[in-house]
């Protein structure tokens, strides 16, 4: 923990955090164009996700990764150009998915 003199493990910047999603069979999707409903069988919770958030989560289901890896995979898939803004956006969506319990930090 930085600044308190206690060393309790390796530090990661947010961009280096590896994220992991539930197994594919735990998530049940309904797609309405740019909106997606998602039922998480682990928690019993239902989520309504916008298109970009759903893509980020689906990418993580396919392959755990960092914000940068997720962003690069999505950019490669869509042919879009990646920049620092899209990295920030990707990191923000990952934080939101984490906050609602849909993804977790991978064990280091």
22: tokens are: 């539930």
Q: Which position among 15, 37, 61, 75 is part of the footprint of another protein (CB under 8 A)?
A: 37
DSSP one-letter string for the chain: -TTTT---S----GGG--EE---GGGEEEEEETTEEEEEETTTTEEEEEEHHHHHHHHHHHHS-B-HHHHHHHHHHHHTPPP-HHHHHHHHHHHHHHHHTTS-EEPP-
Q: Which position among 15, 17, 18, 39 is part of the footprint of another protein (CB under 8 A)?
A: 39
Q: Which is nearer to another protein, 41 or 62 (CB)?
A: 41
Least Å distance between CB 45 and another protein? 9
- How many other C-beta atoms are found inside a 10 Å radius of the C-beta of residue 92? 14
Does 28 help bind another protein (rule: CB under 8 A)?
yes
Does 44 help bind another protein (rule: CB under 8 A)?
yes
Does 24 help bind another protein (rule: CB under 8 A)?
no
Does 101 help bind another protein (rule: CB under 8 A)?
no
Sites for another protein among residues 45-64 (CB under 8 A): 46, 48
Least Å distance between CB 58 and another protein? 17
């Amino acid at each position: 923990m930085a600044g308190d003199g206690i060393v309790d493990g390796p530090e990661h910047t947010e961009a280096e955090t590896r994220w992991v999603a539930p197994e594919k069979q735990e998530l049940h999707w309904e797609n309405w164009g740019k909106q997606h409903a998602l039922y998480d069988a682990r928690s019993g919770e239902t989520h309504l996700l916008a298109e970009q958030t759903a893509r980020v989560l689906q990418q993580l289901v396919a392959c755990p990764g960092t914000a940068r890896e997720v962003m690069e995979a999505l950019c490669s898939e869509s042919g879009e150009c990646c920049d620092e803004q899209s990295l920030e956006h990707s990191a923000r969506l990952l934080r939101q998915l984490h906050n609602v319990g849909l993804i977790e930090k991978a064990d280091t």
